[in-house]
Amino acid sequence: MANSILETISSEFSSAAEKVGGSVVAVHARRWLPTSGIEWKKGVVVTVHHGVQRDEDIKVLLDGGQAISAKLVGRDPRTDIAVMRIEKRSSSAPQLGDSTSLRLGHLVLALGRTRRGDLVASSGIIGGISGEWRNRRGGQLDQHIRLDLALYPGFSGGPLLNARGEVVGINTRGLAHGRAVTVPVATVNRVVEELLEKGHVARPYLGIAMQPVEVPDNMRSKLPGQTRVGLLVVQVENDGPAEKAGMLLGDVLFEVGGETVEHVDAIQDSLATAKVGDVLQIRVIRAGEIKPVSIKLGERAR
Q: Which residues of 263-297 are buried (b: 16+ CB within 10 A; e: fewer)?
A: eeeebebbbbebeeeeebebbbbbeeeeeebebeb
Residue 21, CB-side half-sphere exposure with 13 Å CA sphere? 19
The span from the CA of 146 to the CA of 163, in Å, is 16
Residue 194, by phi and psi: left (phi above 0), alpha (psi -120 to 50) or beta?
A: alpha
- Cβ(33)–Cβ(52) below 8 Å: no
Within its chain, how far is the Cα of 167 from the centroid? Answer: 16
The span from the CA of 251 to the CA of 28, in Å, is 50
The one catalytic residue among 50, 122, 142, 144: 50
Active site residue 156: yes
The span from the CA of 120 to the CA of 232, in Å, is 53
Tell me the one-letter amino acid at 130: S
Active site residue 221: no
The span from the CA of 250 to the CA of 67, in Å, is 58
Within its chain, how far is the Cα of 156 from the centroid? Answer: 14
Active site residue 80: yes
The one catalytic residue among 23, 122, 156, 270: 156
The one catalytic residue among 80, 122, 142, 251: 80
Query: Per-residue DSSP letters for 132-191?
Result: -EE-TTS-EES-EEEEES---TT-TT-EEE-TTS-EEEEEESTTTTT--EEEEHHHHHHH
The span from the CA of 145 to the CA of 95, in Å, is 19
Q: Which residues does the annotation mark as catalytic?
A: 50, 80, 156
